[in-house]
Amino acid sequence: MSPRNQQKPTTKSSAVPTAALRPKRQLHQIAANVLRLAKDRGIQETEVHIEESIEALTRFANNTIHQHVAEQGLVVSLRTSVDGRTARVTTNRIEEDALRAALEDSLSLASHQPKDPQLLPMPGKQKYRAVRRFHVATAALTAEERARAVKNACQLAERRGQVAAGIFSSGQGQSVLVNSRGLATAYRQTHSAFSVTMQQDSATSWAKASAADVRRFDPLRLAKIASEKAARARNPVELAPGKFTVILEPAAVLDLVGLLFYDFAATAVADKRSCLSGRIGKPVFGENVTISDDVYHPEQLGAPFDGEGIPRQRVVLVDRGVVKSLVYSRRSAKQVGIKPTGHGFALPNEYGEAPLNLVVAGGNTSLEEMVASTDRGLLVTRLWYIREVDPYEKIMTGMTRDGLFLVEKGKIAHAVRNFRFNQSVLEMLRNVQCLGPAGHAAGEEASEMVAPPMKICNFNFSEVTKF
């Protein structure tokens, strides 16, 4: 491969225009090219999924920007299906020769496998409910604007004798999904996030927000929250591990409850690897716990269709503690004779489906009220390195991080050294005493979701660390 022409490099203006997504028609044109090539080749069924993204991230630590990146890319992922055999090939080369080669590779992969009698024909045309998640203000955000916001956070830290670290990211993306049976859909969104850790002496705290519209959060306000909590987090006292009443901020709830998501997949239940195997229809959680999957919720992000282009449905997974429903791909739905819920992964795959837009219903107890009503407990800012210890009891282990505080007699008393927990999420959600208002929660472990703060009794901390 060699450059297409031999122009001399330009030395003109240093201004770089903000990157922009291609017009949607260009993506449709690429998809149409693939379908045409596939038809010419006599391929029975073809699916084309094109994704384009523009991402940028400003990263800071020690009160300075140390990494600052931007990327732009387009990926064509195509699937052919012939005589009950299917395979996927993905490329970021869009020249006709490359697309033709990808089709041939897909055919070759598909033809060298046993026939799958349960493989369904590709779906036809669908009806979609529109969502609007593209905000020009986010798409137009420049490196310099992110750098200035970061500078403000770093200056705040310096004024307070603290050290700031974090990220300010923004991006935009679009996708087009079509198949040879007439299905066609498209989606685009923007996203942005500001995450900040403030350190004072050896104490740290953290705050994060994310949204499709960058104007929904104020980076400096988040920096102030983290800064004030870091100041309070100094001189932590070591407590003996044991069972505590905990007040989990939304990020901590997200990181625990969010890791339940695959358990709600019909395929996981059929494979007997879900903690809900044998528990459907039963009161697994407390009566104050209701969980749904709802891509249309105004606080959610994500496309309103699944990996095969089936429209996503709102599904009530847990209703007042009782496991009511699972999510289904076309394949898993057919196996039990119901309609798919629009949660399937792109085919072929072994995992089936999953809810990716969890919404945990909130209550009306504010975080402050939770603290005020607690005689002795722990306020948890954030959790870290959460892993599954036991898949059926859903015991998760992990650490508290960036601000753990003892609450005594309705007030925050002092900081506490971080604990390790080993806690069943099922049991935890039976021990919820009260919930706060639900909102878009951003953590670092599980996917973003809508979650409230929670006050929970008998949360099991097994060991303590050195800070």
Partner 1 sequence: MWDYCGHSLEVARLRGATYADVRLMHLRQRDLTTKSGRVGRLAQSESIGLGIRVVAHGAWGFASTDQLTREGIAACAAQAVAIAKSSALAKKENVRLAPEGSYLDSWQGPCLEDPFEIPLESQLDLLLAADEAIRKVKGVTLSETDMQFRKIDSWFASSGGSKIHQRRVISGCGIVATVFKDDSIQKRSYPNSFGGQHVLGGYELIESMDLLQHAPRIAEEAVELHSAPQCPGKIGTLILGGSQLGLQIHESIGHPIELDRVLGQEANFAGTSFLTLDKLHHLRYASPIVNVVADARISHGPGLGSFAYDDEGVPAQCIDVIKDGEFHGYLSSRETAHLIGLPRSGGAMRTEGWNRLPMIRMTNVSLLPGPWTFENLIADTDDAILMETNRSWSIDDRRYQFQFSTEIAWEIRGGKKTRMLKHPSYSGITTEFWNSCDAICSADHWVLWGTPNCGKGQPMQVMGTGHGASPARFRNVKFGAAFSNQ
Q: Which is nearer to partner 1, 287 or 463 (CB)?
A: 463
Instruction: Output the smallest distance, CB 403 to partner 1, in A.
Output: 12
Instruction: Output the smallest distance, CB 342 to partner 1, in A.
Output: 21
Instruction: Output the smallest distance, CB 145 to partner 1, in A.
Output: 9
Let me know: does 14 contact 166? Beta carbons within 8 Å: no
Phi, psi angles (nearest 5°) of residue 231: -65, -40
Assigned token pair, 137? 């203000």
Element at 224 (helix H, strand E): helix 219-232
Q: Which is nearer to partner 1, 116 or 228 (CB)?
A: 116
Nearest to 447 by CA among 359, 377, 346, 371: 359
- Non-local (6+) Cβ contacts of 291 within 8 A are 257, 316, 317, 318, 358, 359, 360, 361
- Rounded Cα distance, 236 and 238, in Å: 7
Assigned token pair, 460? 């099991």
Instruction: Output the smallest distance, CB 39 to partner 1, in A.
Output: 22
Nearest to 154 by CA among 57, 67, 59, 55: 59
Helix 96-111 vs helix 24-41: crossing angle, to nearest 10: 50
Q: Which is nearer to partner 1, 40 or 463 (CB)?
A: 463
Instruction: Output the smallest distance, CB 409 to partner 1, in A.
Output: 27
- Rounded Cα distance, 155 and 450, in Å: 32
Instruction: Output the smallest distance, CB 384 to partner 1, in A.
Output: 5
Q: Which is nearer to partner 1, 190 or 199 (CB)?
A: 199
Nearest to 92 by CA among 142, 52, 37, 42: 52
Q: Which DSSP string corresponds to 113-127?
A: S---TTPPPPP----
What are the distances in angstroms from CA 310 to CA 169, 224, 355? 30, 43, 14
Let me know: does 367 contact 342? Beta carbons within 8 Å: no
Q: Which DSSP string corresponds to 307-341?
A: TTSPBP--EEEEETTEE---B--HHHHHHHTS---
Instruction: Output the smallest distance, CB 430 to partner 1, in A.
Output: 13
Q: Which is nearer to partner 1, 20 or 137 (CB)?
A: 20
Instruction: Output the smallest distance, CB 91 to partner 1, in A.
Output: 5
How many residues are given for the chain?
Answer: 467
Q: Are strands 163-179 and 242-248 parallel, antiparallel or unpaired?
A: unpaired
Q: Which is nearer to partner 1, 26 or 126 (CB)?
A: 26
Instruction: Output the smallest distance, CB 305 to partner 1, in A.
Output: 20
Q: Which is nearer to partner 1, 4 or 127 (CB)?
A: 4
Nearest to 398 by CA among 455, 463, 467: 463
Let me know: does 415 contact 382? Beta carbons within 8 Å: no
Assigned token pair, 101? 């080669």
**Hey, is 415 helix, strand or coil?**
strand
Instruction: Output the smallest distance, CB 141 to partner 1, in A.
Output: 12
Q: Which is nearer to partner 1, 438 or 442 (CB)?
A: 442
Q: Which is nearer to partner 1, 129 or 387 (CB)?
A: 387
Instruction: Output the smallest distance, CB 366 to partner 1, in A.
Output: 27
Q: Are strands 85-91 and 315-319 parallel, antiparallel or unpaired?
A: unpaired
Instruction: Output the smallest distance, CB 170 to partner 1, in A.
Output: 12
Q: Which is nearer to partner 1, 134 or 421 (CB)?
A: 421
Q: Which is nearer to partner 1, 23 or 298 (CB)?
A: 23
- Rounded Cα distance, 222 and 231, in Å: 14
Q: Which is nearer to partner 1, 126 or 397 (CB)?
A: 397
